[in-house]
Structure 1
Amino acid sequence: MRLNIIYAGMSCLFIGMASPAISFAAGHMLTVEQRLALLEQRLNQAENDVRQAKLHAIQAEQQTRDADARARMAENRVQQLENRTLAVEAQTAETGKKIDDTALASAKTTPADNGFEFSGYARSGMLINSNGRGARGGPGVSPASSIGGDAHVGRLGNEKDNYVELSFIKHLQFDDGSKARFKTMLADGANNPDPWVQDNDSHHLNVRQLYVEMTDLSSFGGPVKNATLWAGKRFDRDNFDIHFTDSDIMFLGGTGGGINDVQWTPHFKNDFSLYARNFGDLGSDRYNDNDVQNVMLTANSFYDNWQLMLTGMAAQGNDELKDNTSTTGSYALRSDNTAQHGYYAMLAYHDKERFYGVLPGSSESALQFGHGLGAEARQPGSDGDLTRDAMSVRFASYGILPVSKNWEIAPSVIAQHSEDRYRNGDRYDWATFNLRASQAITQNFALLYEASWQYMDLNPNGRTYNNDGDIDAYQAVKGDFYKLTFAPTFKVGDVFDIKARPEIRFFVTYMNWDKELDRYAVNDDFGSAGFTAGGNWNFGVQTEIWF
């Protein structure tokens, strides 16, 4: 290598000697000795650079060998750790299986006590007329309410009964994470105002609900992972109503079983239920045995705020009851055309945050259709007097709107058309509009207002009823009903919330209706002594609470 460098230097020297013009252009002429000295200096520097480069290369090669050795050592350690991890996992799995088996056995015998819950609803009050005597009234006071009992008017200042529901709930939680819930509800209703009523025809103590739920079952997965199983006597979980008229938009109930919250997607779920019941509502003591049972299969589908409910029902033997007593308490004569089957459908929209999608508040609406036994749209399957051709279409809606910091309003509407309901050729059309308003005055005092209007066009087409042994006929009538109520109210809690309870109300109510409605039936309220068209005043006090 040194000879090559010397050769290169000598070449440069000869080139320089052959080109004196270039050296001269640099400014001066160097002697041969000076040029050789400079060349030697440059050669020594180049040789030193080569030695340094070679040394760096040797060091880098050594570092690479060291890195390879360390990598092999790390790989060996990782393999050792993997082997130890697999051994630990196998041991843990075996131990976990033993723990799960122990927990399962423990869960079967030692449920954790997760608390007791008590809830209730109650109302009680007096209702007197302008003569100081007991007044007539109630949400179902109008003739249209004899048609399935759902044509209600505003209830504020229009109730005189004493009614209570007491619910007792026990929660259980098990070691495997599963939960159970037991609920029973006792209910009592009476109209007698005396402090002690031993024998009262309107007094009915009921066990209205008695059921068990199971949820978070450890063996469930997929769409039923978070589902709830239930069995017993209950109100369906998906029922909803218009409180201000005491009108169920949907009430499904009886004794049976089902499954809730079958979650197919984050937005879509199903509830399925099977109910069996006799005909008649709370307060009816007719046919309260097991001779006639209506069996109802229901599927509720929910997509976000939308609900689609489909129900099919059958009551074998319903047409065999041919005496003069109705299963629903309306005393209608039964016929050979009485329905044994029916179906029902409802499309509903629930918005808990917006007033019909426009303003902050809440609203719920439903469009319902029923045929045969399903033509009772408020409580499907509860009316055994419907004909095989009975048909009903019903629309119900209400909303709650905070107008200002002191005012809330709650409008509602229910409208229904029925035909061939109790005998072929009959037709019942009615619509109720109600407006409840609340004005907060102080933290514990509010003024409540309510206005109701109901339109009726009822054509029973010769339908008859039993009137104390006499057979009378319903009359075709057409007319309007009006009600206005003013109620100074004391509250605790959120006085600005129109649905906050408890409340103690003092009220005055004015009711009036078209005179033609007095002749609909001899045994109903309209047209009875002291309660005829022309204007009626009622006064009273009432308390209402739920918790």
Structure 2
Amino acid sequence: MNSMRNCALAFAASCLAPAAAEALEYEGYIRSGAGISTGSESQSCFKLPGASSKYRLGNECEQLAELGAYHDFMKLGDGSRVGLYGMAQLYNEYDHTPRFTGEYGQTRLVQGYAYWHDIAALNGGSLWAGRRYYKRNAIDISDFFYWNQSGTGAGIEDVEIDGLRYSYFFSRKDSFDQERYINRHDFNVAGFKTGSWGELELGVSYIEEPKWVDAHSGWAVTAQHKKENFMGWGGGNTFAVQYGAGPGVALGSTGPTDYDRGNVSLRVVEFFDWQATRRFGGQFQMVYQRDKRRYDGNQDWYSIGGRTVYGLSEQWKLATELGHDRVEADDGTRKLTKLTIAPTWSPNGPTFRKAHPEVRFYITYAVWNRAAQRAADELAPDSALSSTGTFGSDRHGANIGVQLEHSW
């Protein structure tokens, strides 16, 4: 009873003596470009059917901007902050007038939530509610958000107890693409020290059974380990293992609700950055995913690749990216290999990270096998790998283009 009373008093005290509001703050991200291909005037991007991502250097076919702003309306006596955050997203595919709406584009409010950060009674934890990019873990060179708990709902985040950080999120909707509301619960515990090896985080997702016919509940678990200054190379290493069943096969988000527990997915992720010298850095990744489906067939996805960045001068660097994807499915083994060489103007320095803006002049070449083409004809007609796409019946092709990428 005393601990509950003390906690209530601490919450009350935190509401006293509010300070003046802070100024409106801005952040954002933009990538924009143009390109042509050897098959036609239109650039077409290379992605293997059945793979969950693609290597993105010189292989992105959209204009994208995300513009965010946040404002602390109040700073309370315990140092906590109350405010609002919002982000608009503008998206448009290449070779279409950038109206950011209709069949080839969109304009959306991808984030909009209220927050109460750094609450003393929660040992620095936070409360929030709304639509949010929440605990998104991604591999940069492939834009693969392998553990992404984003959604619309409310949560309590990073409450520290005995050196561990506890978070809980209740969501109803993952994204605009989810047509129906589905209850999902995400529980995370971070801060398990592994000595000099780094830190471990554990997560559990539970998806309630929806109230319509032929729907099922599901679950997923994730264990993720991170180490800074991996091998003394200045970057970080991440290793993650994920397993899910039923609608939990999305491994952190909400999968198809008609999947029962006989549908499972296993994923192993390993990637690391390096910045061995100021002029030599990059990132390497390996992904394995096993999907077992009761009626849709099984498949294994393997992905291995890397990007190296070498500074030719203080403002010019050479980026090279090589990636290989392989999907073993019931209809055969699909293969795709992509190579990009990109001289890059980087006015903020030659490093791999924290060097935006970047202007990349790239040549991308890809080659794929007949099984990949057959799968593209069935699953992604008119895509780059299909026989009705930019490169026709050929099983190789190239793109040439320029791209600006910047974040602030």
Alignment TM-score > 0.5, same fold: yes
Where is the strand percentage greater, Structure 1 or Structure 2? 2
- For the pair 1:233 / 2:131, whether they are aligned, the reply is yes
Counterparts of residues 361-440 of structure 1 (less than 5 Å)? 361-377=235-251, 379-384=252-257, 386-420=259-293, 423-424=294-295, 426-440=297-311
Contact kept? 1:127, 1:541, Cα under 8 Å: yes
**Which of 321, 324, 332 is the aligned partner of 1:477?**
332
**Which of 151, 159, 165 is the aligned partner of 2:60?**
159
In structure 2, the residue matched to 1:253 is: 150
**Which of 91, 107, 111 is the aligned partner of 1:189?**
91
In structure 1, the residue matched to 2:398 is: 537
Counterpart of 2:132, as a letter, is R
- For the pair 1:518 / 2:373, whether they are aligned, the reply is yes
Counterparts of residues 65-144 of structure 1 (less than 5 Å)? 107=18, 112-137=20-45, 141-144=47-50
**Which of 224, 231, 234 is the aligned partner of 1:348?**
224
Counterpart of 1:144, as a letter, is G
**Which of 387, 391, 396 is the aligned partner of 1:528?**
387
Between structure 1 and structure 2, the one with the greater Rg is 1
In structure 1, the residue matched to 2:140 is: 243
3-state SS of 1:374 partner: helix
Higher RCO (CA 8 Å, separation ≥ 6 residues): 2
3-state SS of 1:373 partner: helix
In structure 2, the residue matched to 1:500 is: 355
Deviation at 1:131, TM superposition (A): 4.2
Please give the per-residue CA displacement for 1:255-290, whole angstroms capped at 9, x wherever unaligned: 11111121111x312111111116xx56x4xx64xx
Q: Hey, what's the Cα distance between the residues in 1 that align with 2:262 and 2:398?
A: 41
**Aligned residues: percent identity?**
21
Counterpart of 1:186, as a letter, is A
Q: Hey, what's the Cα distance between the residues in 1 that align with 2:184 and 2:119?
A: 27
In structure 1, the residue matched to 2:7 is: none
Deviation at 1:200, TM superposition (A): 3.2
Equivalences, count = 384
Q: Hey, what's the Cα distance between the residues in 1 that align with 2:303 and 2:282?
A: 17
Please give the per-residue CA displacement for 1:276-308, whole angstroms capped at 9, x wherever unaligned: 116xx56x4xx64xxx32211111001241100
Q: Does the C-alpha gap of structure 1 residues 407 and 143 become closer, same or farther in structure 2, counting only changes over 3 Å?
A: same
Q: Does the C-alpha gap of structure 1 residues 202 and 366 become closer, same or farther in structure 2, counting only changes over 3 Å?
A: same
Q: Does the C-alpha gap of structure 1 residues 134 and 181 become closer, same or farther in structure 2, counting only changes over 3 Å?
A: same
Q: TM-score scaled to structure 2, two decimals?
A: 0.87
CA RMSD of aligned residues (A): 2.4
Q: Hey, what's the Cα distance between the residues in 2 that align with 1:274 and 1:199?
A: 30
Could you list the structure 1 runs, at least 4 aligned residues long, displaced by more than 6 angstroms after superposition: none
3-state SS of 2:248 partner: helix
Q: Hey, what's the Cα distance between the residues in 1 that align with 2:406 and 2:285?
A: 22
Please give the per-residue CA displacement for 1:221-264, whole angstroms capped at 9, x wherever unaligned: xxx2322111111111x221001001012111111111112111
Q: Does the C-alpha gap of structure 1 residues 106 and 341 become closer, same or farther in structure 2, counting only changes over 3 Å?
A: same
Deviation at 1:115, TM superposition (A): 2.1
Contact kept? 2:16, 2:77, Cα under 8 Å: no
In structure 2, the residue matched to 1:456 is: 327
Q: Does the C-alpha gap of structure 1 residues 433 and 105 become closer, same or farther in structure 2, counting only changes over 3 Å?
A: closer
Deviation at 1:340, TM superposition (A): 2.0
- For the pair 1:310 / 2:165, whether they are aligned, the reply is no
In structure 2, the residue matched to 1:324 is: none
Contact kept? 2:92, 2:101, Cα under 8 Å: no
Counterpart of 2:395, as a letter, is G
Deviation at 1:365, TM superposition (A): 1.7
Please give the per-residue CA displacement for 1:159-214, whole angstroms capped at 9, x wherever unaligned: 12011111011023335233113100111211144555376312221111111111
Greater alpha carbon shift after TM alignment, 179-188 vs 365-374 = 179-188
Q: Which runs of 5+ in 1 are unaligned?
A: 1-100, 321-335, 460-475
